[in-house]
Amino acid sequence: MEALCITFVAIISLVIFFGKIGSRFQGLLNDSYREAESIVRHPAGYPRTKTDCYEIAYSFESEDCVYQSYNECEKNPQHDGFIPINDVSIVSFPPYYQTQSLVDLTFALAAVTVKLSIFYVSEDRPKTFADKEIPYPFGETSGKSIFLKGSGRIRFVNKYPFYDNKTCPCARCTHSTAPKKDWWMVGVVTAAHVVFDEKEAKSTRCRVDYNTEVKELKPENSLQGYGIAERGVFVEEDRSNVLFCTHDSSLAAELESRVAHYKAQCEKVVEEFQDNAERELVIVVSHPHGRAKCASIGRAERRLKVETGFTKYEYSVATCPGTSGAPVYMLDRTKLPFCNHPHSAAFKEKDNSGYSAGGY
Ligand SMILES: [Zn+2]
Ligand SMILES: [Zn+2]
C-alpha cells in the first residue's frame, strides 16, 4: 500500500534546531532586509523558477496516502522546527522574542487557522502561469478527483441573510424544499493553487480545531465550501478567498469572536514592538501533510513589492507539504497589524526557505 502512496511535492532535506534558529536571529539582517524591500518589482509578483515547490500534500490514490507522506517525508524527515500547537511556549521563541504576548498571538492565530481538504481539481486550472514557462500546479491533471490538503485562515464571519433573502447555499439546502434562511458565511483565505475556483471550493471541507491527532472528524467542526468571494482569486499572486457556510449559530459566534481576538492580539504585539529595531520574526501556523496543527517560527528575509500593489515576503521557516495557504504572521508589517499573507512555495535550492503569496 505504501508503495502506492505517492508524495508529489518536490522535497529537500533540512535539519533545523531551535537553538540554531535562535542564534541566526542574533545576526541581524536589518539592513539587507530593508534595502531588499525596494529591489524586487515584478508584475507577476515573483520571478518564479521551475523548481519552486508548491507545498500541497496530495494523492490521487487515497486520503491515507496523504497522511502517510508525513512518515515518508524527505524534505524534513524529523519535522524539526514544527511545534505541535499545544506545546508552544515562551521558550519556543528566539531569545529576543520571548514574550507572553507572542505566545498569546500564536494561539490566537492558531484558533483561526484551518485545515482544507479538496477533492476535485478544476478543469479551468491553466497549464502554466502567465509567463507560459512555469507549469501551474495540477494544470496537467485538471478535471480529476484528488485528495489534497492545504491550510488557511478564517478572515471573517457574516450572518445571512445580510441584505437579501439568500437561503443557505450548502449542498443539503440546495436540494431541500425548505432551505435554511439563517446561516453564516465564513471567509477563509488560502493560496490560489490550493483552492483555484468555485468548482474546487464546492468540493472543499474546512476543518476547525484540528489541534491534536485524532482519527474521527467531528462534523460540528467542519464547514462546507460553496464558492469564492467576488474578485476573490488572484492567480499570479497565488491568493484565494474561499467561502464556507454553516447553520451552527454557536460555532459561527465562536469563530467570529476568534477573528476579533486575533486582530486585537496583533494590535497589542505591534504596539509592544513598534520601537524595536528587530522585527523580523515570522510565525507560520499550518497543517503539515494534513496532520494536526503546528507552529513553526523563523525570520523574514526580504519584503518584495509587487507592481499590482501587493507585497510578498521571503522567509526562513520550516514548511512542508500541506502548509500551502497557511497564515504567515510577520511582525514587521507596514499596512495591517495582522497577517494577510498565505504561504505559497518553498525554494528548492535553499533549505528551509520560501515565500508568501501576495498580501496587503
Ligand atoms: Zn514533511
Ligand atoms: Zn445549508
Assess contact for 181 and 170: CB atoms under 8 A: no
Residues 243-278: tens digit of each pLDDT: 999 999 999 999 999 999 999 999 999 888 887 777
- Ligand 1 center to residue 117 CA distance, Å? 17
- Ligand 2 center to residue 334 CA distance, Å? 39
Judged by its nearest atom, the ligand closest to the C-alpha of residue 160 is 2
Return the number of other C-beta atoms located less than 10 Å from residue 92's C-beta.
18
- Ligand 2 center to residue 112 CA distance, Å? 22
Judged by its nearest atom, the ligand closest to the C-alpha of residue 55 is 1
Judged by its nearest atom, the ligand closest to the C-alpha of residue 80 is 1
Assess contact for 342 and 290: CB atoms under 8 A: no
Taking residues 216-226, what's their average pLDDT?
73
Q: Which of 28-32, 225-229, 237-241, 305-309 has the lowest mean pLDDT?
A: 28-32
> Residue 236 above 80 pLDDT?
yes
Highest mean pLDDT of the ranges 100-104, 180-184, 211-215, 265-269: 100-104
Q: How far apart are CA 88 and CA 107, in angstroms?
A: 8
- Ligand 1 center to residue 76 CA distance, Å? 5
- Ligand 2 center to residue 291 CA distance, Å? 28
Q: Which of 94-103, 201-210, 309-318 has the lowest mean pLDDT?
A: 309-318
Q: What is the pLDDT of residue 118?
A: 96
The three cell numbers of residue 61 are 490514490
Comparing 283 with 280, which gets the higher pLDDT? 283
> Residue 341 above 90 pLDDT?
yes
Q: Which of 306, 300, 280 is nearest to 358 (CA)?
A: 306
- Ligand 2 center to residue 46 CA distance, Å? 39
Confidence of residue 305 (pLDDT cuts 50, 70, 90): confident
- Ligand 2 center to residue 247 CA distance, Å? 6
Judged by its nearest atom, the ligand closest to the C-alpha of residue 248 is 2
- Ligand 2 center to residue 276 CA distance, Å? 48
Q: How far apart are CA 60 and CA 269, in angstroms?
A: 42
Q: How far apart are CA 235 and CA 45, in angstroms?
A: 10
Taking residues 231-253, what's their average pLDDT?
93
Confidence of residue 13 (pLDDT cuts 50, 70, 90): very low
- Ligand 2 center to residue 88 CA distance, Å? 36
Comparing 24 with 335, which gets the higher pLDDT? 335
Judged by its nearest atom, the ligand closest to the C-alpha of residue 223 is 2
> Residue 170 above 60 pLDDT?
yes
- Ligand 1 center to residue 357 CA distance, Å? 20
Percent of the chain's residues with pLDDT above 70: 82
Prior bond to 161 cis, omega within 30?
Answer: yes
Q: What is the pLDDT of residue 309?
A: 74
Q: What is the pLDDT of residue 217?
A: 56
- Ligand 1 center to residue 307 CA distance, Å? 33
Q: What is the pLDDT of residue 334?
A: 56
Residues 6 or more apart from 142 whose CB is under 8 A from it?
121, 122, 123, 124, 125
Confidence of residue 20 (pLDDT cuts 50, 70, 90): very low
> Residue 27 above 90 pLDDT?
no
Q: What is the pLDDT of residue 163?
A: 62
Residue 311 carries which DSSP code? E
Taking residues 57-85, what's their average pLDDT?
93
Residues 158-167: tens digit of each pLDDT: 988 766 678 9
Q: What is the pLDDT of residue 2?
A: 44
Judged by DSSP in three states, 9 sits in coil
The cell 524529523 sits on which residue?
78
Q: Assign 3-class secondary structure to 134-155.
A: CECCCCCCCCCEEEEEEEEEEE
What radius of gyration, in Å, describes the C-alpha atoms of the chain?
Answer: 19
Q: Which of 38-52, 177-191, 262-276, 324-338 has the lowest mean pLDDT?
A: 38-52
Assess contact for 155 and 171: CB atoms under 8 A: no
Extract the runs of DSSP E, i.e. beta strands, from the chain: 41-42, 53-54, 57-59, 83-84, 113-120, 145-160, 183-190, 204-207, 222-234, 239-246, 281-286, 294-306, 311-316, 327-330, 341-346, 353-356
> Residue 18 above 80 pLDDT?
no
Q: How far apart are CA 125 and CA 35, in angstroms?
A: 36
Average model confidence (pLDDT) for the chain? 83
Q: How far apart are CA 151 and CA 117, in angstroms?
A: 9
Q: What is the pLDDT of residue 47?
A: 57
Taking residues 155-180, what's their average pLDDT?
86
Q: How far apart are CA 6 and CA 70, in angstroms?
A: 11
Q: Which of 11-20, 32-41, 231-240 has the lowest mean pLDDT?
A: 11-20
Judged by its nearest atom, the ligand closest to the C-alpha of residue 168 is 2
